[in-house]
């Protein structure tokens, strides 16, 4: 029969080896964790900013829902991009798109030097809300419906204005005869 003293010595030696092995494993895990954190951080950011010409975000069905671009594509209607019309220039910014793939609004700027900034909300077939800022500081806010009834107000170089139309016919203009009552130009010049 083995002596209890020798069994205790064997157990103590095993315990010391186990402790040394445990400390070594903990040190290796900590070293690996530190290296992984350092390597991931340096490869992920490298002190730079992500730069891209565009980003398209889709939903779980693959339908485009958000487009960020410089420049942006033409408007989309039921998932099909409509090419820009005559006189429409390039725009850059962010477009929001509904579940059918139809553009429903955006926050954009014209790519022309003297272009405007625009925030819009759209129905499925037409624009309904617009906030426009021109480079010179003039600002216009317009809401309208399919019958061409609208409220338009803003501040231009010659002062503020408010125009109300019902089915395309002027109901009220303040001040009377302000420049935007009869201005045929589109509000957003590309």
Residue 113 has pLDDT above 90, yes or no: no
pLDDT, one tens digit per residue, over 61-84 is: 999 999 999 888 776 555 555 554
Contact between 106 and 74 (Cβ < 8 Å)? no
Mean pLDDT across the chain: 81
**Cα–Cα nearest to 95, from 61, 64, 129:** 64
Task: Determine which helix (DSSP H) or strand (DSSP E) holds 30, and give its type and residue range.
Answer: helix 4-44
**What are residue 68's DSSP bridge partners?**
55, 94
Residue 128 has pLDDT above 80, yes or no: yes
pLDDT, one tens digit per residue, over 29-73 is: 888 888 888 777 655 555 677 778 899 999 999 999 999 998 887
The reported pTM is: 0.65
pLDDT band at 190 (very low <50, low <70, confident <90, very high): very low
Neighbours of 142 (CB within 10 A): 19
- The phi, psi pair for 38, rounded to 5°, reads -65, -45
Q: Find where tokens 């340096």 sit.
A: 42
Q: What is the chain's length? A: 190
Contact between 149 and 165 (Cβ < 8 Å)? yes
Q: What is the SS3 assignment for 38?
A: helix
């Amino acid at each position: 029969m083995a002596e209890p003293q020798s069994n205790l010595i064997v157990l103590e030696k095993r315990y010391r080896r186990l402790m040394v092995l445990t400390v070594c494993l903990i040190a290796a895990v900590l070293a690996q964790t530190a290296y992984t954190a350092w390597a991931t951080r340096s490869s992920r950011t490298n002190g730079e900013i992500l730069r891209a010409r565009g980003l398209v975000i889709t939903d779980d069905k693959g339908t485009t829902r958000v487009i960020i671009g410089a420049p942006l594509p033409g408007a989309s209607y039921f998932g099909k991009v409509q090419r820009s019309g005559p006189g429409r220039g390039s725009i850059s910014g962010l477009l929001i798109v509904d579940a059918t793939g139809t553009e429903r609004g955006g926050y954009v700027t014209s790519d022309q030097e003297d272009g405007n900034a625009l925030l819009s909300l759209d129905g499925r077939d037409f624009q309904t809300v617009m906030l426009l800022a021109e480079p010179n500081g003039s600002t216009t806010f317009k809401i309208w419906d399919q019958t061409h009834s609208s409220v338009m107000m803003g501040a231009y170089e010659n002062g503020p204005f408010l125009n109300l139309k019902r089915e395309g016919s002027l109901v009220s203009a303040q001040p009377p005869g302000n420049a935007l009552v009869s201005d045929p130009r589109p509000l957003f010049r590309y």
